[in-house]
Amino acid sequence: MSAPRIAGLMMISDTAAKDMIRKGSDNRGMPGFGPAEITDTELNNLVSWLRNNCGMGMMGSCPAPARPAGTEVKVDILDADPWYTDKGVDNTNDPYDDVRRVVLGANQYMTLTNTGKTWHTMTNGAVGKDSGFVGYAGKMGAGTGYYYADQATGLAAGCVRYQCKLHPYMQFEVCTSGNQPAQLTKASKNAIGTPAVGGSGEVWVNTQSQHESGSDTVDGAMQVINASNWSIKNYVANVGNNPHNAWSGKDGSGNTVTLTANWHDNTATLIDGNTKTVLNTKPVGAAAAHVQVSPGAVERWFVTIMGGVAVQEVDVSKLRAGQDPNVGVPIRGEFSPHGMWFCDDGDHFLTANTLASTVSLYSANQKKQQSFVSTGGVAPLATSVFSGYGTGGCTRAYSNNAGTASVSVYDINPTAGTIARNTTAIPAAIRDASGNLKLRDTSIYPVRWVHLPIQSPASPADATTHGRYMVTANKASFNVSITALDSQGTPTAIYTFPSGLGAHGANFGRKALCDSGNPNDVCYYAYVTNTFENYISVFDLEKVAASGVPGSANETVHLDGYGAQALCGQASCDVAITTFCPDCRSGAHAGDVPLQTTVTGKYTYLKEEVWLDPLQTDVKLDLDLKIDTGAQGIMVAPAPRPWP
């Protein structure tokens, strides 16, 4: 294999080189890397190596890494599921002939090549293995980046799950010589009917893994639900490359448009909000993740660039016209910004910086990060703001912590441009040792089991028939957590309700008619996507306070394979949802809305912790989960308050 294409130092000083590596380039061709990815010591060593080994640094002049001894087993990283594939080259050793599970023989090593269009990694922090960012940053060609992993030092012994730390649903397993993979379990919550009462407006769903034919090499579509009757109003095909998150608003001419960030690429795609047709796709930065529009009379559009250290403002009118849409240089901050949320003032916004485990406060008007703070947890992916409270609706905010099953609460001073984590406001009964909201609690009965909480928005301020709630989508525990908030946005109680497997995105839309029957009342549904199901789930916030007791949910989960055999003694069976979510309640889960399917029978591999109530413990299961639609982001048009 030829040498990797690495830029040398050319005619710049070591100090300038370090500054560029930290900040990235103004033209977005090279993302920046914070200390969470490259420590100061590693940065010094990197620049020294470049200086000593790459000369004046023409592209491709750096020496290639040494190839390990033994026989090569090639594994490709893909933008489309199944994400990682050995193409069957290990079938002699693999009893299941599963391309997502690499079974190595003696004297074999693995070459991992990124064939996709943005950064990907091979990471398992628990065993101390991390390839670092491999591959494409917007300038190099796909398939350029590669990584060698030998069995002595590059891989952990046994059968070990690795994932992309930017895109954690991308997982595969590597078994070192002498080890065999376990049998898989297929799991899916059985859908219930659609809600009895309609909603208002349109619900847009990022069906990130959907494609139109088996030959598609790039995944991604958008589905638009008519909330009044829960039908699929529009199916927008071929939207970008894994469109992850979107928002709706107006362009400079007053046209309604939707902008989506393509997480497996360096692009964003603009869709006409009326005709539901794709208008244009243009580069904005590596691993573009989330989009939001500033609330207020003048709408400004921003995209987080998770593969770097920046947020990028975008001119959607230029994007519509096929021009470079990037407004000025990237607004630099902490490393790996993912989810973002605006304050009511239309100026300040927050980002969750996943790999740095921090949250940043930005000023859009000043085009700078004003401050940042540790979350006190691990892997924040989303932020939200308790709108309508305090100065410009910019006083109380939240972020999830996927790695520690918690939510952090923040106090913001927009005048001073500061943000601080509040570790004392949460009641002790639902507060963890770090001062965060404790979504998971195995010390109570029934157990409150939450795994991988993701988006956690706070409900709009204008509801008249119910209180305010934070809705947290929990990726790997068949549930959502709905947290009651007092008048200052402080959590007071946690309710758990059933959801599909892979709960990820969450947003709010008005019910067509509140339970009071008064057309002047305002009440809300919460909408939640389920990545590993072919439906979204709907929750009625009017029903939360009067919901059933913990453990009263009567929904079911369908199992095939190992899990069914272990729990039911047969190859396939249905079990109670409380098997996996012991404290799931009845009452507020109003219904599941089916999505349109195209290519079906697609599955992805995950190995995650699952609670098994009959055993009163959690276990790690090798899971085989459907990824036909792969829904992740969700938005409502028109957007709820504070958006116009």
Cα–Cα distance between 398 and 195 in angstroms, integer? 29
**pLDDT tens per residue across span 516-560:** 999 999 999 999 999 999 999 999 999 999 999 999 999 999 999
Pick the CATH number of 188-199+307-598+626-633 from 2.60.40, 2.120.10, 3.30.300, 2.60.120: 2.120.10
**pLDDT tens per residue across span 380-396:** 999 999 999 999 999 99
Q: How sure is the predictor about 10, in pLDDT bands with cuts at 50, 70 and 90?
A: low
CA 376 to chain centre: 19
Tell me the fold of 1-62: Cytochrome Bc1 Complex; Chain D, domain 2 (1.10.760)
Residue type, 55: G
Cα–Cα distance between 521 and 207 in angstroms, integer? 32
**Helices then strands, each counted (H, E), the chain:** 4, 44
Name the pTM for this structure: 0.97
Helix (H, G, I), strand (E, B) or coil at 180: coil
Q: What share of the chain is helix, strand, coil (3-state, %, to 5)?
A: 10, 40, 50
pLDDT number for residue 50: 85
Average per-residue pLDDT for the chain: 94
Q: Is the pLDDT of residue 284 over 50?
A: yes
Cα–Cα distance between 226 and 234 in angstroms, integer? 9
Cα–Cα distance between 574 and 501 in angstroms, integer? 15
pLDDT number for residue 138: 56
Distances (CA, A) of 274 to 222, 248, 257, 258, 270: 14, 11, 8, 10, 12
pLDDT number for residue 57: 47
Q: How sure is the predictor about 1, in pLDDT bands with cuts at 50, 70 and 90?
A: very low
Give the containing element (helix H, strand E) for 317.
helix 316-320
Give the DSSP letter string of 581-608: -TT--SSSEEEEEEPP-SS---EEEEEE
What are the boundaries of each domain within the chain? 1-62, 70-181, 188-199+307-598+626-633
Question: What is the assigned CATH class of domain 70-181?
Answer: mainly beta
Provide the β-strand partners of residue 304.
311
**pLDDT tens per residue across span 404-439:** 999 999 999 999 999 999 999 999 999 999 999 999
Nearest Cα to Cα of residue 81 among 148, 164, 190? 164
Q: Which two tokens stand for residue 473?
A: 């989508």
Sign of the alpha-carbon torsion through 399, 400, 403, 404: positive
pLDDT number for residue 214: 72
